[in-house]
Structures are given as structure tokens and as C-alpha cells.
Amino acid sequence: MLRAQPRLESSKLMSWLSPFIAVALTMIVSSLMFLWLDVDPLKAFQVFVIMPFSDSYNLGELIIKSTPLMLCAIGLALCYRANMWNIGAEGQLLIGAVASSAIAVSATDDAGFGTYLLTIGAGVIAGAFWAAIPTWLNRRFHTNIILTTIMLNYIGLYILLWAVHGPLRDPSGFGFPESAMFADAVMMMPLLESGRATISIVIAIVIAIAAGLMLFKTLPGFKLRVMGAERSAAKYAGFSENKIVWLVMLFAGAMAGFAGASEVMGPIGQLVPSVSPGYGYAAIIVAYLGRLNPVGVIIAALFMGALYMGSDLAQIELGLPTAVTGLFQGTLLFFLLACDFLIYYRFVPKRPLRKPSSRSLINEEGAA
């Protein structure tokens, strides 16, 4: 039998391997799920994992799904590194989308670059503002940031619903809860000639790399990591906790707000009630899958984007419900957190409770 033994030092190898082990275990468990649903697991994986990368159309759609995940997860990775449990990317994204739309609906085709920047800026600032509320409550009244950010997600969602049913509804839209389509002047530049993918993905990757450098090569990044790892050591060293907390929270909010802006200004092109299929929540998993490393988040976001794509394709190809994606994600996060156990512990053979018998001693000598 095996037993767990604490490691003297955390394993670097395992901290790289554990996401892969988690993905493998998720595959095994979901195979059982597919068998139970009478779907050939091999066929299912072909749809979920291979098809999203198979042709340029699917690849473009994959990038569209990955972009908001990546943007949100970069900010969340920094928050979690600093021990700030911001669950509010979803709400920050939605508020960013609403604010951007509020500017975009009144823009005409001859609007200039200034209006374009204003549209993006509105989303970024609104997202940061939405993150500032729980941060202020936490700093001022020591409220639990997990609870307040989750509550603000719901408030954000209802503000979005109010906006599409009220002030931002398209007057000539036959009463559908949608805004008018935005003018081309306030749309994100497309990445390629064809397809709906925009330059947002490029911006996301650049910011991810910059955030990675900041985190590991600069003093502010070091201070952030110290504060997350051991608050009293940060206090001892004289690192300002308030400054770090505000910076990571506002940054995460701004990133989520930008994700919301780039959704309505990009692939969707208008404000709709279903701006986000839970990107802000899935980004939590992306942040962990990427080892809370902004550069790792790039790969993790593409993987999670493929899962979203896969669930769309699975509906078409296999007739599976979208809830399968949620199951997938949940299983993955579960194994991801469980596998981190391996970083701090290792498995060693259980010693016999009694003193080793003479026979086993002989065996050992024989083996040697």
C-alpha cells in the first residue's frame, strides 16, 4: 500500500506535471461519462479536442472563445497570486460590455478613432470600477472578497438585462432584448481577412507576456508574490499591502472589462443578454490550469476555448447537451486542485507496522 509523505521541498517537476495529470484524469472520467451516454469516447474526444484545431474556420472560432478567457484569467492569476479571491470576473466583464455598448450604440459610421478608443476605454474603466467596489469594501470593512464579488456578478447580470430591455434596446428591433448592431467604426479590427477573430487575441497575448515578466522579473511582481505567500512576511519587509491589493484588483477588473468590450465590439457586434457563456467563471479554471502564471494562461485559455468549441460541435455532431461542457470544466478543476497535492506530498510504500521479518531482510539483501 502507498501512503502520503510531506516533501521536504515542493516539487518543481510536479508543479509542471500536475496540470497534465489532471487533464489525463479528466479524460478518463469523462470517457466513463460518454460511455454512459452511449457515445463512443474516441469519437467524443475527436470532436472535443481535435476538431477545434482542424480547419481555419474552427481555429478562428477557437480564438474567439479563448480571447475573453485569456483576458480575464491574466488578471485573476495575479489576484490569486496575491491571495485576493476575486470571483467577480464575470460581473466585471458584463459591466464592461454594457459600458462599451452605451458608447457604441450612438456611434455612426463616420466616427473617428477617438470614439473607438472611448468605446474600449469605457469597458476597461467600468470593469475596473466594478472590481473597485468589493476592493473598497474589503479594505474598509474587511468584507469577504469571495462573497462580495459573487454578489456583484448577479448585480452586473441584472444591469445587463435591464440595459438590453430598456435604454440600449434597438428601437427598430421588433422588441427583441438586443441593442442595434454597432457601426464599423467602433468594431475591433479583424485578425484575418476572413473569420470573426479580432486583434484582441494579440493584445491578450502581449499583456500576458508583460504580466509574466512583471510577476517574475520585477520588484512589484516580487512584492505581490510575497504578499500572497505570506502576508506577515510582506508586512515585515515593509511592502504596502493596500497598494498591491488595489493594483491587482483594478488590473483584473480592467482586463475583464476589456474582455467584455472586445466581445461586443468583436464577434457579437451588439449587446445581447448572452454576452458571456460564463467566461468569467471558466477563467478561474484557466488561471489555475495555467499555474497562476500569465504565460501559462495563454496555453490554458486555448485549451479551455477548445472545450467550449467542442461543446458546440458536440451538439451538432453528437447531439450532446451544452451542460456537458460544465461537467467537463468541473471535473477538470476538481482534478487540478487534487493533483496539486503531489507538489507538496509524495507517495511512498507503506512500511509494515511490525518490525521487518527476517525473511524480508533476506529478500532485500538478495535484491541488492
Partner 1 sequence: MDTPLLELWNVSKFFPGVVANDKVNLKLNQGEILALLGENGAGKSTLVKMIYGVNSPSEGAILWNNHEVTIRSPNEARAMGIGMVFQHFSVFETLTVYENIQLGLDKEFLDTVSDLRQIIIEKSEQYQLHVDPERYVHSLSIGERQRVEILRCLIQDVKLLILDEPTSVLAPQEIEGLFEVLRQLSNEGCAILFISHKLKEVTALCHRAIILRGGKVAGECDPGKETPNSIARMMVGNETQLSETYPKVETDQILFQTNQLTLTPSHPFGCGLKSVNLQLRAGEIYGLAGVAGNGQEDLLAVLSGEDTRSSADSIQWQSKNIGNWDAGKRRKLGLAYVPANRLGQGAVPEMSLEENTLLTHSNKLSTNSIINFPKLKQLAKDLINNNQVKCRNEEAQAKSLSGGNLQKFIMGREVAQQPKVLICAHPTWGVDIGAASAIHRQLIELRDAGTAILVVSEDIDELFILCDRLAAIYEGRVSQDIKTADTSIDQVGEWIAGGFISQAEVAHA
Among 36, 38, 193, 217, contact with partner 1 (rule: CB under 8 A): 217
Say whether residue 5 binds partner 1 (CB under 8 A): yes
Instruction: Supply angle C-alpha 47, 48, 53, rounded to 5.
Output: 85
Say whether residue 225 binds partner 1 (CB under 8 A): yes
Q: How many residues does the chain have?
A: 368
If the CB atoms of residues 173 and 221 are measured against partner 1, the closer one turns out to be 221
Among 355, 359, 367, 368, contact with partner 1 (rule: CB under 8 A): 355
Judging by beta carbons within 10 Å of its beta carbon (0-12, 13-18, 19+), is residue 108 exposed, middle or buried? Answer: exposed
Question: Measured between alpha carbons, how far is 301 from 287 in angstroms, rounded to an integer?
Answer: 8
Buried b (16+ CB within 10 A) or exposed e, 65-80: bbbbbbbbbbbbbbbb
Subset of 308-347 contacting partner 1 (CB under 8 A): 346
Q: How, if at all, do strands 2-6 and 345-349 pair? A: antiparallel
Say whether residue 230 binds partner 1 (CB under 8 A): yes
Say whether residue 2 binds partner 1 (CB under 8 A): no
Residue 321's CB is within 10 A of a number of other CB atoms, namely 12
Say whether residue 351 binds partner 1 (CB under 8 A): yes
Among 54, 56, 194, 218, contact with partner 1 (rule: CB under 8 A): 218
By C-alpha distance, which of 196, 251, 248, 209 is closest to 225? 248
Say whether residue 251 binds partner 1 (CB under 8 A): no
Question: Measured between alpha carbons, how far is 301 from 299 in angstroms, rounded to an integer?
Answer: 5
Range in contact with partner 1 (rule: CB under 8 A) among 36-44, 54-62, 153-161, 237-245: 237-245
Say whether residue 246 binds partner 1 (CB under 8 A): no
Say whether residue 288 binds partner 1 (CB under 8 A): no
Say whether residue 226 binds partner 1 (CB under 8 A): yes
In DSSP terms, which residues pair with 150 in a beta bridge? none
Say whether residue 8 binds partner 1 (CB under 8 A): yes
If the CB atoms of residues 3 and 43 are measured against partner 1, the closer one turns out to be 3
Smallest distance from partner 1 to CB 8, Å: 5
CA distances from residue 33 to 23, 26, 28, 327 in whole angstroms, order as listed: 15, 10, 9, 9
Among 85, 222, 246, 345, contact with partner 1 (rule: CB under 8 A): 222
Smallest distance from partner 1 to CB 221, Å: 9
* Alpha-carbon dihedral sign for residues 107, 109, 110, 116: positive
Cβ proximity of 191 and 63 under 8 Å: yes
H or E element that contains 349: strand 345-349
Say whether residue 235 binds partner 1 (CB under 8 A): yes
Cβ proximity of 188 and 276 under 8 Å: no
Among 220, 273, 277, 326, contact with partner 1 (rule: CB under 8 A): 220
Residue 296 dihedral angles phi and psi, to the nearest 5°: -65, -30
Range in contact with partner 1 (rule: CB under 8 A) among 30-38, 116-124, 246-254, 352-360: 352-360
Cβ proximity of 290 and 104 under 8 Å: no
Smallest distance from partner 1 to CB 88, Å: 27
Range in contact with partner 1 (rule: CB under 8 A) among 32-40, 84-92, 165-173, 228-236: 228-236
Residues that bind partner 1 (CB under 8 A): 5, 7-10, 217-220, 222-223, 225-226, 229-230, 232-233, 235-240, 346, 351, 353-355
